[in-house]
Amino acid sequence: MDPILIELYRHRFSGVADEMGVTLRRTSYSPNIKERLDFSCAVFDGAGGLVAQAAHIPVHLGAMPASVAAALAAFPVWRPGDVVALNDPYEGGTHLPDVTMISPVFLDDAGEAPRFFVASRAHHADVGGMTPGSLPLSTELYQEGLIIPPVKLYRAGVRNDDLLRMLLRNVRTPEERRGDLAAQRAAHTVGERRLRELVARHGAEEVLAYAAHLQAYSERLVRAAVAAWPDGAYAFEDALVLDDDGPAERVPIRVCARIEGDAVTFDFTGTAGAVDRSFNAVLGITQSACYYVVRCLAGEDVPVNAGCFAPVTVTAPEGCLVNARPPAAVAGGNVETSQRIVDVALGALAQALPGRIPAASQGTMNNLTIGGLRADGTPYAYYETIGGGMGAAPDADGLSGVHVHMTNTLNTPVEALEMTFPFRITRYALRRGSGGRGRHTGGDGLVRAYEFLAPATVTMLSERRDAGPWGLAGGAAGLPGRNVLRRADGSEETLPSKFTRRLLPGDRLRIETPGGGGHGAPEDGPPPRT
């Protein structure tokens, strides 16, 4: 193994995934993909092991290997031009809006098995279900939208038009979905072409060998990093708050992080059972969150691939909140529960690595979906997540107004939003002073206010509205978020963290996102931000 070639192939493979992402963005239809970049792309070896990923969304990429494994299990035989699509959370998916596509890469025409796979996962702004945007206050999976098990959308390059018609008939915005699915396939075409060009230039033997070398190299780096952590068992607990139906209910998530030599196990025994809400998470989401935490602590120079995951084991009782079984609802598990899993994993490891772990960040994605009809009678569905405060680090203030942890998207630009949808933004600003005080201060949240120009159904899935993100080492918690509705008649209502409302022209919704926790004793730090 040549160390120079290792670095070259690291960038060659990740460059393939990056170029797939550029293609997907440029050819997509929906603002959620084109503007917010709510998608991920990756390259896998012929056995389904991750070789490289673009720097996209952690909650997608850590769970995408399960999608490839499900596709391989469903289809032992592949031909050039095949494309498998799926979104079933219990067959390799995460939640229904995230549609994953997988394509084989053959290196010649000799009929051998695929030597690589390329994959993309994109959040489609609507896949049917109870409410526009397909992130409803559901109680079972069937209410959340169209469920797609692993199916071949293309067979040997020929599109299955009957299947496509069925998919599009079950969504509110069929032409947008058609365009975004086509964009994913276009990204795969680019990925396949670039991998074959790489083989044509350097030879199949070398390219395949360095795909394996990269995985082994990443595993050695992560094991070396974990081996430097103090052995022991470190427990931590946090909770989700379900407040959409009656009194608020705290649902605990408990983890014990066991460090033994060069490996770490995250054991979620003691976590609450699955709930009759949409905040259950499949095991792939829980694994993804734990992989993300270890990858962040292992150092910036570790190539992200299957080797990173080998030293990490994740266990959770079957049927609990973080290892749900069908037909449990999971729409919010991917976006909200994943954030809390990161919080508890970091909280546990903070006991082992007190000088390296930040205070809690906003701990929510502030998921907002809006849907209805435009003036011409055509339906629309809008989805976005809203940034907030990052937790302060032991040696630095937290960043303000950013997406944190399991999301890595942008906010939809105001101009793109107002050009596309019948509502407008009346305020978009930092929420000054919302970060927790400390020797280092947590980042501030955001204020984003919407005025509706036509009737709309609005659903919000958010967290950290009852108590703010926790501080560390004596730092204060950040301010909790708020969801406030001001009706056109001037009446005002503070809404729960999770709600669905029918809004009318002139109504205004203001989302105030949480600030990050502070780090270090507040008396030793600066005054609150003003």
pLDDT tens track for 333-383: 999 999 999 999 999 999 999 989 999 999 999 999 999 999 999 999 999
pLDDT at 524: 53
Task: Name, in order, each residue with C-beta under 8 angstroms of 153's C-beta and a sequence gap of 6 or more.
Answer: 83, 84, 85, 101, 159, 160, 163, 164, 181, 185
pLDDT at 527: 53
Nearest to 207 by CA among 219, 195, 217, 216: 195
DSSP state of 472: B
pLDDT at 104: 97
- Domain stop point among 218, 239, 273: 218
What angle separates helix 283-298 from helix 338-352, to the nearest 10 degrees?
40
In this structure, the strands spanning 263-267 and 312-315 are parallel
Residue 331 located in a structural domain: no
Nearest to 474 by CA among 350, 363, 389: 350
- Domain stop point among 199, 218, 237: 218
Residue 524 located in a structural domain: yes
Say whether pLDDT at 243 is over 50.
yes
Residue 312 located in a structural domain: no
pLDDT at 55: 72
Q: How many residues does the chain have?
A: 530
Structure token digits, residue 237: 């607990």
Residue 313 located in a structural domain: no
pLDDT in tens, 43-83: 999 999 999 998 767 776 678 999 999 999 999 999 999 99
pLDDT in tens, 374-400: 999 999 999 999 999 999 999 999 999
CA gap 212, 207 in Å, rounded: 9
pLDDT at 248: 85
CA gap 43, 104 in Å, rounded: 10
Contact call for residues 218 and 286 (beta carbons, < 8 A): no
- CA end-to-end span of the chain, whole Å? 55
pLDDT at 76: 94
Helix H or strand E encompassing 219: helix 204-227
Predicted TM-score (pTM) of the model is 0.94
Residue 90 located in a structural domain: yes
How far CA 525 is from CA of 268, 357, 438, 469, 475, in Å, comes to 35, 18, 5, 18, 9
pLDDT in tens, 480-515: 999 999 999 999 999 999 999 999 999 999 999 999
- Domain stop point among 187, 218, 249: 218
Domain interval for residue 68: 3-130+137-218
Say whether pLDDT at 118 is over 50.
yes
Residue 177 located in a structural domain: yes
pLDDT at 526: 55
Say whether pLDDT at 530 is over 50.
no
Task: Name, in order, each residue with C-beta under 8 angstroms of 111's C-beta and a sequence gap of 6 or more.
Answer: none
Say whether pLDDT at 528 is over 60.
no
Mean pLDDT value of segment 110-129: 91
Q: How many domains does the chain have?
A: 2
pLDDT in tens, 427-456: 999 999 999 999 999 999 999 999 999 999
pLDDT-based confidence at 110, cuts 50/70/90?
A: low
CA gap 94, 81 in Å, rounded: 25
Across the chain, what does the average pLDDT equal? 94
Question: How big is the CA angle at 373 (ends 371 and 378), to the nearest 5 degrees?
Answer: 120
Say whether pLDDT at 96 is over 80.
yes
Structure token digits, residue 458: 């609005």
Residue 247 located in a structural domain: no
